[in-house]
């Protein structure tokens, strides 16, 4: 997706050896026109799949999934990271190790919002080691539903998530794949 690559090149900041910051359009300030393009592109790539729900994880995934849902015309469910008295007691739970935060946390989805037989599209902003996507997959499987695909805005090809997920025979669509960071500059694989 050329427009996305352009924005990454112009505005992305390499924050450490492995972390890319794109706060000006994806993770803090949100460029909704770009999100529309992203949503359309996901819709094109998963055309023909009878998706019944989109599943993502708070916080950054929510906006991406919401705009994409305008095209898929299905509900968005997001996994919650924090315990809350508002959350139903009956939940599917899984664990995610975050390499950016360097800690493990629980995610939860109420059993009311994913059902047996659902055909779920998982969407997220970044793919690094694949822990978030695998935990979301685990929740879908606990519900007796199926993962129809995984859509990622920015995959970092030098981390292992892409390989792990492709080995699972799931349709993984990454709109851009970052090859590496060289002297603070991003290069792409696709
Ligand atoms: P994974 O679970 O694949 O290791 O990491 C994916 C999650 O970590 C994403 O949900 C994203 O929020 C966060 N993440 C991983 N790498 C980056 C990065 O380079 N930049 C940003 N902004 N978030 C990242």
The Å distance, Cα 177 to ligand 1 centre, comes to: 13
Written as one string, the DSSP assignment of 13-60 is EE-SSS-EE-IIIIISS--HHHHHHHHHHHHHHTTT----EEEEETTH
Residues with CB under 6 A from ligand 1: 19-21, 27, 57, 60, 98-100, 124-132, 161
Token pair of 70, please? 């305008």
The Å distance, Cα 100 to ligand 1 centre, comes to: 7
Q: What is the pLDDT of residues 17-35, one digit of tens each?
A: 899 999 999 999 999 999 9
Q: How far apart are CA 177 and CA 8, in angstroms?
A: 11
Q: Based on the number of CB atoms within 10 Å of its own CB, is 121 exposed (0-12), middle (13-18) or buried (19 or more)?
A: buried
For residue 77, give the nearest of 103, 100, 51 by alpha carbon. 51
Q: How far apart are CA 41 and CA 68, in angstroms?
A: 9
The length of the chain is: 190
27 Cα nearest atom in ligand 1: 22
97 Cα nearest atom in ligand 1: 2
pLDDT beyond 90 at 85: no
Place of tokens 């996507």: 133
Average pLDDT over residues 71-92: 89
The pLDDT confidence band at residue 120, using thresholds 50, 70 and 90, is very high
**What confidence score (pLDDT) does residue 190 get?**
81
What domain range is 94 assigned to? Answer: 2-188
Token pair of 136, please? 């979301």
Q: What is the pLDDT of residues 133-161, one digit of tens each?
A: 999 999 999 999 999 999 999 999 999 99
**What confidence score (pLDDT) does residue 71 get?**
98
The pLDDT confidence band at residue 45, using thresholds 50, 70 and 90, is very high
Q: What is the pLDDT of residues 154-185, one digit of tens each?
A: 999 999 999 999 999 899 999 999 999 888 88
Spell out a b/e string for 137-176, using b for 16 or more CB atoms within 10 Å of the CB, else e: bbbbeebebebbbbbbbbbbbebebbebbeeeeeebbbbb
Number of structural domains the chain divides into: 1
Ligand 1 atom 10, closest CA: 126
pLDDT beyond 80 at 83: no
The rounded mean pLDDT for the chain is 95
Which stretches of 43-171 are assigned E, i.e. beta strand? 53-57, 76-79, 91-98, 103-110, 119-127, 146-156
Place of tokens 């968005």: 76
Find the CATH number of the domain harbouring 117: 3.40.50.2020
Ligand 1 atom 24, closest CA: 126
């Amino acid at each position: 997706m050329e427009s996305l690559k352009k924005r990454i090149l112009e505005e992305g900041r390499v924050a450490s050896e492995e972390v890319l910051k794109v706060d000006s359009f994806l993770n803090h300030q949100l460029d909704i026109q770009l999100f529309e393009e992203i949503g359309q592109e996901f819709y094109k790539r998963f055309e023909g799949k009878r998706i019944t729900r989109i599943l993502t994880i708070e916080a950054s995934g929510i906006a991406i999934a919401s705009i994409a849902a305008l095209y898929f015309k299905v509900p968005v469910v997001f996994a919650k990271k924090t315990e809350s008295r508002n959350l139903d007691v009956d939940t599917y739970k899984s664990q995610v190790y975050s390499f950016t935060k360097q800690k493990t946390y629980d995610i939860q989805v109420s059993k009311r919002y994913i059902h047996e037989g659902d055909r779920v599209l998982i969407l997220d902003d970044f793919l690094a080691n694949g822990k978030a996507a695998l935990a979301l997959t685990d929740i879908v499987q606990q519900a007796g539903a199926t993962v129809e695909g995984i859509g990622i805005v920015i995959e970092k090809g030098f981390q292992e998530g892409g390989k792990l997920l492709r080995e699972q025979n799931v349709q993984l669509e990454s709109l851009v794949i970052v090859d590496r960071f060289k002297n603070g500059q991003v290069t792409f694989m696709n």
